[in-house]
Structure 1
Amino acid sequence: MTDPAARVQIGTTELSLPRLGFGTAPIGGLYEPVPDEQAQAVLRAAWQAGLRYFDTAPWYGYGTAEEHLGQALHGQEGSAISTKVGRLLREDIPPHPTQLEPDGTRGFKVRTARNVTYDYSYDGVMRSHEDSLKRLNVDRVDILLIHDPDAVGVGTRELMGGAYRALHELREQGVIHAFGAGMNQWQMPAELIREGDFDLFLLAGRYTLLEQEPLREFLPLCAARDVKVVIGGVFNSGLLASPHPGARYNYAPAPDAALARAQAIQAVCTRHGVPIQAAALQFPLAHPVVASVLIAGRVPERVEENLAFLRTSVPAALWEELKAEDLLDAAAPVPVSPG
């Protein structure tokens, strides 16, 4: 069991993050609309539950999630906020192809006329930062993350000459505490670590109970450079929350192999009387470079449900069986059960 309020220092910065944070993509209307009052109820529930780290992005609801968060945190003190750079929002452009689902509709179901254009230049990052401050209605954010440059083929060299230079300058000036990148893959973050002075990375869906490939290269590299990692997508887009046909994995219907592996993991959890969600939420926190894990949800009840999963006792025998059945990397650190 993990104390969600326990904090982890981020490198040599003045910033520390609690072990549990809240991700705002779902309340930005990911896949289905979330009315304003419902989004506010979710964020109130997160605050009242003691969550004090919130991650957002211009991409989430095309600015809507940042606006929701700004409204919810207005007048509150003591929270840490991370948002992202690389996508600018404009109303005078059509949707970018990356915004569209196979049926041609936008992935975030919101009414805003804003659409995205990608810009990882020095000026684009500075503009993105200023725009986010306005939507969040704050004077500063704690963390800025380069968001999904791989989505449009932007490489490490281009980032280092533009986005990195801007973020490094903002940190040196004390405008932000820390910076890094947020992606759904670990290979490019590994390249970035080798090229610059980063504080942390947000890795979504790649170090989970379902897959642990970053154990071999990326996480050791983070440890060697004193770089922390925030884990998003801990349920692999829903597959580890409910492994059934039609469940999402990587934002798309899960392939048969991934579904079968998730169902095998669930069977082990069931034999030990543990909800698969509890094992999935607790597992990444055992790795020493992981500072925080993000939960999310479209309804207030999901916040308390996830906190209950975090408090659930998971016996050592469950992790041992997962490793024995080759369902968990043998080298993966696992939580230590009390007693």
Structure 2
Amino acid sequence: MRQRTLGSGTVRIGELAFGAAAIGNLFTPVAEAEAGAAVEAAWQAGMRYFDTAPHYGLGLSERRLGAALRGRPREEYVVSTKVGRILEPLTTVDGDDLANGFAVPATHRRRWDFSADGVRRSIEESLHRLGLDRIDIVYLHDPDDHAEQALTQAYPALHRLREEGVIGAVGIGMNRADLPARFVRETDIDVVLLAGRYSLLDQGGLADLLPLAAAHGVGVVIGGVFNSGLLADPKPGATFDYAAAPAHLLARARELKAVCERHGVPLRAAALHFPFGHPAVASVLVGTRSAAEAADTAAMLRHPVPAELWAELTELGLLPPGTPTPEEVG
């Protein structure tokens, strides 16, 4: 897969990334063997960038990803994790963590912490769960209500760790575009992970963040290209941003699907290709819970998408005028 260097550093990532939230039992359980098979299938398909976080399954995602990567040449893959939520063990386990989206026992509680000490503690604990001696990319994770602490305490701590070689690159990961844009302006981050705000249904990242990232040489990883399911299979009951899709978005997604079908392209393939029309985009990250999903994602990225498809989407008003689109990929 094509690779790109993030920021002014040396970390290089491939164009397709494995999102490991799902193997942390996102919404429903995933068996241990199934999680390992998903990583193996991703590896066989050429994926070498794997993203996780302490938040995902109260550490389960990090543990499973580390176990699945163990024994593979360390220089051949990139791992990113996140800081901002400290996991504190509970003395008694009472119920599950489904209120936070994960089908795991409630063995810990999450505590927001974007202090310098919190950053260092979080990274140390992630290294232990992953079984690694270094982390390639560390993202500030959802600092929506902690912007100032993330900017004045967490970021400087990550900057120092990058200078010391403990981590390779510094980023911010959110499902909104305005705060990451501020970090691009005011700090020396290498990468932004933007979830759900640059897709066939939502181009919110295009107004400010993506042009700014391109101007500053900051790489952008796009998550949520299926908008949590609607662009994977736009049927009644499909979800958009993890809630039932509004009727107007369902109708628009079905229009997108109809155009894709006229050109012999699965909607999933068009959704995966679309972000690469912008020069700031380095990679697309897809949440994967099984070997079949990993193989399908790689196949969709290889599927040709003709320029005529993008032209028709623009002509029909399904993409705003001036939206950058990829050149034909064969």
TM-score, normalized by the shorter chain, greater than 0.5: yes
CA–CA distance in structure 1, aligned partners of residues 287 and 136 of structure 2: 20
**Partner in structure 1 of residue 28 of structure 2:** 32
1:177: Cα distance to partner? Answer: 1.2
**Any conservation in 2 of the 1:84–1:147 contact (CA below 8 Å)?**
yes
1:205 aligns with 2:196: yes
**Partner in structure 2 of residue 80 of structure 1:** 78
CA–CA distance in structure 2, aligned partners of residues 125 and 256 of structure 1: 42
**Partner in structure 2 of residue 295 of structure 1:** 286
Structure with the higher fraction of residues in strand conformation: 2
**Partner in structure 2 of residue 134 of structure 1:** 128
**Any conservation in 2 of the 1:94–1:115 contact (CA below 8 Å)?**
no
1:61-81: CA deviation from partner (whole Å, max 9, x where unpaired): 110000001001111111100
CA–CA distance in structure 1, aligned partners of residues 152 and 264 of structure 2: 52
1:244-255 counterparts in 2 under 5 A?
244-255=235-246
Q: Quickly say closer, same or farther: Cα 1:129–1:278, change in 2 above 3 A.
A: same
1:23 aligns with 2:14: no
CA–CA distance in structure 1, aligned partners of residues 240 and 72 of structure 2: 35
**Partner in structure 1 of residue 89 of structure 2:** 91
Aligned positions, number: 326
1:112: Cα distance to partner? Answer: 5.5
1:60 aligns with 2:56: yes
**Any conservation in 2 of the 1:228–1:290 contact (CA below 8 Å)?**
yes
Q: Which of 135, 140, 146 is the equivalent residue of 2:140? A: 146
Q: Quickly say closer, same or farther: Cα 1:270–1:70, change in 2 above 3 A.
A: same
**Partner in structure 2 of residue 11 of structure 1:** 7
- Aligned amino acid, residue 146 of structure 2: V
CA–CA distance in structure 1, aligned partners of residues 60 and 224 of structure 2: 20
Q: Which of 165, 184, 188 is the equivalent residue of 2:179? A: 188
1:156-235 counterparts in 2 under 5 A?
157-235=148-226
**Any conservation in 1 of the 2:92–2:107 contact (CA below 8 Å)?**
no
CA–CA distance in structure 2, aligned partners of residues 106 and 180 of structure 1: 23
Partner secondary structure for residue 268 of structure 1? helix
Aligned-residue Cα RMSD (Å) equals 1.7
What fraction of aligned residue pairs are identical, expressed as a percent?
Answer: 50
**Any conservation in 2 of the 1:93–1:115 contact (CA below 8 Å)?**
no
**Partner in structure 2 of residue 273 of structure 1:** 264
Q: Which of 109, 113, 117 is the equivalent residue of 1:119? A: 113
- Aligned amino acid, residue 290 of structure 1: V
CA–CA distance in structure 1, aligned partners of residues 79 and 70 of structure 2: 13
1:333 aligns with 2:327: no
- Aligned amino acid, residue 190 of structure 1: A
1:288: Cα distance to partner? Answer: 0.8
1:106: Cα distance to partner? Answer: 4.2
**Partner in structure 2 of residue 107 of structure 1:** 101
**Any conservation in 1 of the 2:79–2:136 contact (CA below 8 Å)?**
yes
**Any conservation in 1 of the 2:97–2:105 contact (CA below 8 Å)?**
no
Structure 2: unaligned runs, 5 residues or longer? none
- Aligned amino acid, residue 190 of structure 2: D
CA–CA distance in structure 1, aligned partners of residues 125 and 20 of structure 2: 17
Q: Quickly say closer, same or farther: Cα 1:72–1:100, change in 2 above 3 A.
A: closer
CA–CA distance in structure 2, aligned partners of residues 186 and 288 of structure 1: 17
1:80-113: CA deviation from partner (whole Å, max 9, x where unpaired): 0010000011122899xxx976xxx441001361
**Any conservation in 2 of the 1:245–1:259 contact (CA below 8 Å)?**
yes
1:170-202: CA deviation from partner (whole Å, max 9, x where unpaired): 011111111010000101101111221111100
- Aligned amino acid, residue 136 of structure 2: D
CA–CA distance in structure 2, aligned partners of residues 203 and 94 of structure 1: 36
CA–CA distance in structure 2, aligned partners of residues 198 and 50 of structure 1: 27
